[in-house]
A and B are shown apart, each in its own frame.
Chain A
Amino acid sequence: MPDISPSLSNPSLLSRFWFHTRRNISNPHLYLGLLGIACFGFLYYLFTEGWPLPRFEKLPGPVAVFTEWFSPDPMWGISIYSEEYYQHIWASVRRVGIALLIATGLGVPLGLLMGWSKVFKDYSFPVLELLRPIPVLAWVPLAILMFNDTETPVIFLATLASFYITVLNTMLGVESINPNFIRAAACLGSKPHHLFLHVILPGALPFIFTGLQISVGISWFSLVAAEMVSGQYGLGYLILNSYTSVTYETIVIIMMTLGLVGYASSALVRFVGRQLMQWQARALALENR
């Protein structure tokens, strides 16, 4: 047979990690990315501090922000040395974590059901599509009416948007499954519960993880919005608080922190996805992606 096949080894997690690290270091992507960030940082410096444009005059420049961020004795109380900083980060990370767990725990089964049962989809899809365009912030009053404490409404709001995304992506994932897989499984003697467990769920998994990646991001920005409206801790709360107390450096510190934490959380989702879907990761690797 003129078959050309790739290497046959099944590498361990650690050796895969090394392989990727080595490849990333020897690849221009990493350096180009860093260069891009440096360019952005330079422009930011240039327009705010070096040669300030009229519109940007009032904005804190990178030198001011980084001095404050890395100062052991920050002027406005928030730096990498202050305990309060980590309390706020933790409060937000915890809320996003809970929101994602709820959104995934409810969204994935619902999406699977909608993709699986035509009748169920007929009932539920219009409801979903009517609720989905309602902006998260429009829910704020009702959320506060529904939940009496300060914590739950914030989590509810952060859950909402990612829930829709998860449901939709999971449903599309089920619908994207090649019908021949289902037929083949039926031929091989699958009962409906086998089909669900061994074909529908793994078949929809790539879409579920794509949805999860989007919903991590959505969950972060609806969380920050919610924290600005209600809540007593968290990064969103801190931004609004700093605004009213005119500590603009802190606002930019929190914005950069949000960027970093957001990036880290979607990287984590990508990592988990790759571990769960080696079959897809390897196929993509063959195409050099």
Chain B
Amino acid sequence: MQDTKALLQLQAVSRCYQSAWAKDTIIENLSLDIAPNKMTVVIGPSGCGKSTLINLIAGFEKPDSGEILLEGKPVKGPSHERMVVFQESALMPWLNVYENIIFGPKLRKERSMAEIKAEAEALLEKVGLSVFAQQYPRQLSGGMQRRAELARALINSPQLMLMDEPFRGLDALSHELMQDFFLKLFEETRNTCLFVTSEVDEAILLADQLAILSNRPAQVRAVLDIDLPRPRTQEILNSPEAYAYKRQALELLYEEALKNFQREGKPDDFLEAYSQQEGRHS
């Protein structure tokens, strides 16, 4: 395999949902290359079809047209080569943390149980959950659940990690700590990752490559190379370079978000609601 080539290629992918009354195009002619051992962050206005994109790459849904290639081979259905880390935790509540982590390898039986056990224990150590191995997910805090879920994904050594706003719903402090933790993990392993988010700060902090999606139907509006030194910490967001990237990304996003309001004929309503809100706060 040539290392310089993209690991995953999306070629003119389209996806629409058809109901009896209307056809709703979510993604249209979207093309994107995901480089190996890089963090590609996808950001877009809310409701633009980011989750649909993840579902397509994961193989939960099929594109209506276009192709998704992993190392040149078309993607067919879900596989452990492309592990998804979901928006809300998707740990099985009836299995304890350890059983959750070994769920995949145990089913696929590619390795001996001793090997699986050893790796699970190493991973538990890495995500700082060794003591909690026998606990059930609902007994853990939100941050711990997300770390357990990362471990469950990593044990399958996926070629590509698909992260669908994985830290959403955490409180501000846990959110930041999870970002730090995830950043460190990525910088250690360099596991190719597609990270979907709707927060610009998070995007700049994590990304090597930042893909900005347009409003629906989603297309890649721009791809920015985020050339900030690694290892990174939250501090890097205060640098002028990061600030410049942020400005650039926000400008593009703002344009797209605005289209959303105009298309639905909402700008006046929006402004009205906004000014009311302002009035209440002051």
Contacts and interface: CB of A to CB of B under 8 A. Distances in A.
A205 B144 contact: no
A283 B94 contact: no
Nearest to B109: A189
Contacts of A3: 140-141, 143-144
Contacts of A203: 92, 94
Most chain A CB within 10 A, of B79, B82, B90, B144, is at: B90
A287 to B, nearest CB: 9
A279 B93 contact: yes
A282 B141 CA distance: 14
Nearest to B140: A5
B103 to A, nearest CB: 5
Contacts of B173: 2
Interface in B13-53: none
A5 B128 CA distance: 13
A130 interface: no
B84 A4 contact: no
Given A180-B90, A183-B58, A183-B84, A279 B141 contact: no
A5 B78 contact: no
A5 B107 contact: no
B264 to A, nearest CB: 28
A189 B143 contact: no
Nearest to B60: A183
B80 A188 contact: yes
A231 interface: no
A278 B80 contact: no
B44 to A, nearest CB: 21
B120 to A, nearest CB: 13
Contacts of B198: none
Given A183-B84, A279-B136, A4 B90 contact: no
Contacts of B134: 8, 10
Interface in B97-143: 103-104, 107-108, 128, 131-132, 134-141, 143
A190 B107 contact: yes
Given A183-B84, A189-B108, A1 B143 contact: yes
Given A186-B60, A189-B107, A282 B136 contact: yes
A4 B173 CA distance: 14
Interface size class of B (residues with CB under 8 A): 35 or more
Contacts of B138: 279-280, 282-283, 286
Given A180-B86, A186-B60, A5 B139 contact: yes
B90 A279 contact: no
Contacts of A10: 134
B86 A5 contact: no
Contacts of B191: none
Contacts of A20: none
B29 to A, nearest CB: 26
B90 A8 contact: no
Interface residues of A, number: 33
Contacts, number: 103
A183 B86 contact: yes
Given A185-B103, A203-B94, A8 B58 contact: no
Given A183-B58, A280-B93, A198 B135 contact: no
A280 B139 CA distance: 10
B80 A187 contact: yes
B241 to A, nearest CB: 30
A181 B94 CA distance: 11
Contacts of A262: none
Interface string A61-85: 0000000000000000000000000
Nearest to B104: A188
Contacts of B143: 1-3
B273 to A, nearest CB: 32
B70 interface: no
Most chain B CB within 10 A, of A186, A277, A280, is at: A186
Nearest to A278: B136
Interface in B57-78: 58, 60, 77-78
A184 interface: yes
A78 B202 CA distance: 76
B51 to A, nearest CB: 11
B211 interface: no
Given A188-B103, A190-B107, A194-B107, A178 B139 contact: no
Contacts of B77: 186
A199 B91 CA distance: 11
Contacts of B108: 188-189
Nearest to A183: B60
9 contacts: A1-B128, A3-B144, A8-B131, A183-B90, A186-B77, A188-B152, A194-B107, A205-B94, A280-B93
Interface of A: 1-6, 8, 10, 178, 180-181, 183-191, 194, 198-199, 202-203, 205, 277-280, 282-283, 286
Given A184-B84, A188-B152, 15 more contacts: A5-B132, A8-B134, A181-B90, A187-B82, A187-B84, A187-B104, A188-B104, A189-B107, A194-B107, A199-B92, A278-B136, A279-B93, A279-B94, A283-B138, A283-B139
A-B pairs, 8 with minimum CB distance: A188-B104, A283-B138, A180-B90, A186-B78, A279-B136, A202-B94, A184-B90, A189-B108
